[in-house]
């Protein structure tokens, strides 16, 4: 499939790497190669394994290691992080390098243009520019710490005309910046579509392996349920995020939770080993004051949808947009997840990898075989960098979901408690039972209920 044009009839079994796998008479389990000096936490698989037919490449053990619910492990050392990384994706690194830096140029366009032309109130700011519109978090104040640009990388006109009328937040029309009026935005649209298309395609490949895991572990799970729902979906939303530098007041914002933090520098790989530079990691140590300035770039939350692809992050000088070396970046800043034992873990996604997180919809559909993970983004500590550089962060999640009318029904062999008890972080996110109020409620209704609970939850 050509980069930037993604077919609704993806056939992973026809890829060259998978054809070689079909020579095996029986499914081959993925291996777990590790550096002897490291014990693995972040699971990394190779693209050729993800794109292989599950009948020929069994990734179930690794998916359980990455996504399994509470019942998967009671050991902190083996507790799933709720995230998986994928390496050697064709054209991915180049596409990421081309697109992410655009966030700085976008965030520094004239404010009147961003608000008056590039924003879309009719979609509840789910297309185009959004800054200061969210009020997530305990303080329920407008979130000025970050800005977002939303777009659909698959099509400019998703869904039918009636679906766009019924679900304006799910099927908004794209609003692209004017590349002629703003030359610094040249190639923005094409690079956005290219990276988003690659990420969506990888997610679709992954769904076949999630299906295979659920079919093995969960009685009554419908064959190919997730893949069939994802392969043709047009509900794909890219979110280019720009985290503005935090002033000392924002960085010192109080947080009532006391979080125990462990820095992670170790990985599991399905094929190749990876040496991670851990010179900035303080393993098994808490922050100097864990009750302050923890989730101040994005508060703790679960992804409420199906699957979220992540393109890692990029730290830049806010004044110039120049990428910053590690020496300028607070090693405790970045993405944190809560593992199944309740620990908050800093996760660094290798630069050549794309990551995927599980949303709450999959937790429901699999009866808790896989579970969503609370996560947040922590900004740099005040005073950490004394050279005057204002550090900004860029990231790009891409949400791949089913239609809003999709029924969130647990498998016949599961009870409601299987779904609810598989997750963690009840002190960090609104409880799932208060949002998934009945078996079979539609994805659209679940999203709306979740939005309301997050905005009102303390």
pLDDT along the chain (458 residues), means of 10: 29 33 37 33 95 97 89 57 96 98 98 97 92 66 87 96 91 97 98 98 98 94 96 96 82 40 40 33 32 70 93 96 93 91 90 96 92 91 82 97 95 88 81 90 87 62
Q: Find the radius of gyration of the CA atoms of the chain.
A: 21
Single out the residue of 211, 382, 266 nearest to residue 34, CA to CA: 266
| Residue 160 pLDDT | 93
| Residue 70 pLDDT | 64
Task: Report d(CA 348, CA 334) in Å as an integer.
Answer: 8
End-to-end CA distance of the chain: 46
Task: Give yes or no for a contact between 231 and 9, defined as CB atoms under 8 angstroms apart.
Answer: yes
The dihedral region occupied by 124, where left means phi > 0, alpha psi between -120 and 50, and beta the remainder, is left
Using DSSP bridges, classify how beta strands 307-317 and 353-358 pair: parallel, antiparallel or unpaired.
Answer: antiparallel
| Residue 45 pLDDT | 97
Helix (H, G, I), strand (E, B) or coil at 395: strand
Helix (H, G, I), strand (E, B) or coil at 152: coil
| Residue 259 pLDDT | 34
Q: How far is CA 146 from the centre of its chain?
A: 16
CB atoms inside a 10 Å sphere around CB 19: 13
| Residue 139 pLDDT | 53
Task: Report d(CA 85, CA 164) in Å as an integer.
Answer: 33
Residues near 188 by beta carbon (within 8 Å), at least 6 away in sequence: 99, 102, 105, 106, 176, 177, 179
Task: Report d(CA 63, CA 112) in Å as an integer.
Answer: 46
Q: Which helix (H) or strand (E) holds 376?
A: strand 375-378
- Per DSSP, what are the bridge partners of residue 238? 151, 398
Model-level pTM?
A: 0.82
| Residue 136 pLDDT | 54
């Amino acid at each position: 499939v050509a980069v930037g044009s993604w077919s609704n009839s993806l056939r992973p079994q026809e890829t060259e790497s998978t054809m070689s796998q079909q020579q095996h008479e029986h499914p081959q389990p993925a291996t777990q190669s590790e550096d002897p000096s490291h014990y693995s936490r972040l699971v990394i698989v190779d693209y050729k394994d993800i794109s292989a037919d599950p009948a020929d490449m069994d990734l179930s053990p690794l998916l359980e290691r990455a996504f399994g619910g509470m019942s998967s492990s009671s050991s902190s050392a083996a507790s799933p992080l709720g995230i998986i990384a994928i390496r050697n994706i064709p054209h991915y690194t180049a596409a990421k390098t081309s697109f992410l830096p655009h966030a700085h140029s976008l965030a520094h366009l004239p404010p009147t243009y961003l608000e008056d032309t590039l924003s879309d109130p009719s979609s509840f700011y789910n297309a185009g520019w959004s800054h200061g519109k969210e009020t997530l978090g305990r303080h329920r104040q407008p979130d000025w710490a970050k800005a977002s640009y939303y777009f659909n990388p698959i099509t400019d006109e998703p869904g039918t005309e009636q679906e766009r009328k019924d679900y304006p937040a799910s099927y908004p029309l794209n609003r692209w910046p004017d590349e002629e009026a703003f030359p610094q935005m040249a190639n923005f649209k094409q690079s956005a579509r290219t990276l988003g298309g690659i990420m969506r395609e990888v997610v679709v490949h992954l769904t076949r392996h999630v299906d295979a895991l659920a079919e093995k572990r969960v009685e009554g799970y419908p064959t190919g349920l997730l893949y069939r729902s994802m392969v043709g979906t047009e509900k794909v939303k890219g979110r280019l995020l720009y985290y503005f530098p935090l002033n000392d007041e924002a960085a010192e914002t109080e947080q009532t939770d006391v979080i125990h933090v462990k820095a992670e520098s170790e990985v599991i790989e399905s094929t190749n080993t990876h040496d991670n530079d851990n010179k900035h990691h303080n393993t098994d140590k808490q922050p100097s004051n864990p009750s302050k300035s923890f989730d101040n770039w994005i508060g703790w939350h679960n992804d409420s949808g199906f699957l979220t692809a992540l393109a890692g992050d990029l730290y830049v000088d806010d004044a110039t947009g120049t990428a910053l070396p590690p020496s300028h970046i607070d090693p405790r800043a970045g993405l944190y997840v809560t593992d199944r034992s309740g620990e908050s873990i800093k996760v660094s996604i290798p630069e050549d990898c794309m990551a995927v997180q599980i949303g709450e919809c999959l937790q429901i559909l699999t009866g808790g075989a896989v579970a969503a993970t609370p996560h947040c983004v922590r900004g740099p500590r005040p005073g950490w960098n004394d050279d005057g550089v204002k550090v900004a962060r860029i990231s790009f999640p891409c949400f791949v979901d089913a239609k809003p009318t999709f029924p969130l029904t647990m498998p016949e062999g599961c009870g409601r408690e299987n779904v609810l008890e598989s997750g963690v972080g009840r002190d960090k996110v609104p409880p799932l039972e208060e949002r998934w109020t009945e078996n079979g409620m539609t994805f659209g209704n679940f999203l709306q209920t979740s939005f309301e609970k997050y905005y009102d939850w303390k």
